[in-house]
Amino acid sequence: MIPIRLFSWSIQDPQQPEVDNINSSPRECVSRLIDAKFQQKVYSEILDHQITKEFPPSQDYVKAFLKKYIGFIERDQDEEIDENLLEYYMEMVNTIPNMAGDHGSKDQDQSSYKVYCLDNEQQQRVVLKVTLSMISQGTTGLSVWEASLTLVDYMIKNPDIIRGKIVLELGSGCGLAGLVAAKLGAKKVILTDFNGSVLKVLRHNRDKNQDGKDSLGRDLYGRVSVDELDWAEAERYIARHWSRDDDGGEEMLEENQNELARGREEVAINAVADVIIGSDLVKSNTYDPDILPYLTHVLDKLLINDKQQAFIMSTIRNEDTFRRFKDLMTDKVPDLETSIESMASMPKILCHENSAADVRLISIKRSIAAVTETSASQ
């Protein structure tokens, strides 16, 4: 399967391999985008491909794409529309109810699949069941948000931050970032959320992505788990996590419980995860900024030693909310060191719907001084 982003749809983009735009006039580029060979490729490598059949994309999206592409071909006097393409489109027009104007449709709320190819050789991909509406069934977690695409780009560029590590994703939504972490070689990944519908989709997406090998050639099966974690109830989650310790059996379970009763120093021996990741958790206007204290709380509970690190990728839609999160971190959890980096100049690997979005990475660590101080006072 050729990812749709690797076809050269833009006549200005010189980077794409499919059409050599540098030496071609715009007229030549257009004719290559619609010539018979290219049309056949669009049909066989996208529409008729096994992966598209197994994981159907949004039908409205495919219909809109074909309408535009066929219209493009029709404008050219010399080129004919490929028979397979036309037949495919006609069948869609006849079987799928008309789109509700240009302002969305029922399809927006229904699930379809998105396939994310992580490398141009297509060795690694993540398949996700998603809805197209940003808010559906009362939750923001059933669609893929901009910052998760940037977090994926960042992990592909910096795989060492997660390779061989236990990674816990907060507010996973559909699970893109966590599943990519597993594909890139994390030792174990825990996808978490607190919404029932989201957890159901997360389990489905985990099941669809656990066959095969990671990028280090190791089996993926059984390395990704899905857990309910409400940030407001971080302590309960940690206790529950320990009480079903997979590695140490009963002995370890008892030891963990004793340690939990004793406090932070012993807890440090048994951190739930080495790396915490999250995307589009610090936002506003689309949902309640009052969740910010819970987010600082869960980070405080999960980051217990100075070897762990959290990477929270955020789309900045409202500077005030972002500032409020930073202030909360400084006031309530001063032992956590926070650094912020703009992702504006990071090259994009995945296809971003809003590539102009202001996305920033918040890296968080517990300070060495704080850990030493806590140990000394025990």
Binding site for ligand SAM (CB under 6 A): 139-141, 144-145, 147-148, 171-173, 193-195, 198, 229-232, 279-281, 291, 294
Signed CA dihedral, 286, 289, 290, 292: sign only = positive
Whole-number Å distance between alpha carbons of 248 and 312: 30
Judged on CB neighbours under 10 Å (0-12, 13-18, 19+), 182 is buried
CB 115 within 8 A of CB 1: yes
Amino acid at 315: T
Q: Which is nearer to ligand SAM, 38 or 231 (CB)?
A: 231
Min separation Cβ 193 and ligand SAM, Å: 5
Whole-number Å distance between alpha carbons of 292 and 297: 9
Q: Which is nearer to ligand SAM, 105 or 150 (CB)?
A: 150
Q: Which is nearer to ligand SAM, 84 or 133 (CB)?
A: 133
Q: Which is nearer to ligand SAM, 66 or 191 (CB)?
A: 191
Min separation Cβ 245 and ligand SAM, Å: 22
Among 162, 309, 151, 168, which Cα is nearest to 225's? 168
Min separation Cβ 194 and ligand SAM, Å: 4
CB 156 within 8 A of CB 117: no
Min separation Cβ 277 and ligand SAM, Å: 9
Q: Which is nearer to ligand SAM, 63 or 125 (CB)?
A: 125
Whole-number Å distance between alpha carbons of 378 and 80: 79
Q: Which is nearer to ligand SAM, 21 or 172 (CB)?
A: 172
Min separation Cβ 231 and ligand SAM, Å: 4
Q: Which is nearer to ligand SAM, 3 or 173 (CB)?
A: 173
CB 362 within 8 A of CB 314: yes
Q: Which is nearer to ligand SAM, 64 or 291 (CB)?
A: 291
Min separation Cβ 326 and ligand SAM, Å: 19
Min separation Cβ 53 and ligand SAM, Å: 26
Return the number of other C-beta atoms located less than 10 Å from residue 100's C-beta: 12
Min separation Cβ 170 and ligand SAM, Å: 7
Whole-number Å distance between alpha carbons of 178 and 191: 6
- Joined tokens for residue 68: 């535009």
| Per-position DSSP letters for 188-247, written without gaps between them | EEEEEES-HHHHHHHHHHHHHT-SSB-TTS-B-TT-EEEEE--GGGHHHHHHHHHTT-TT
- List the beta bridge partners of residue 340: 362
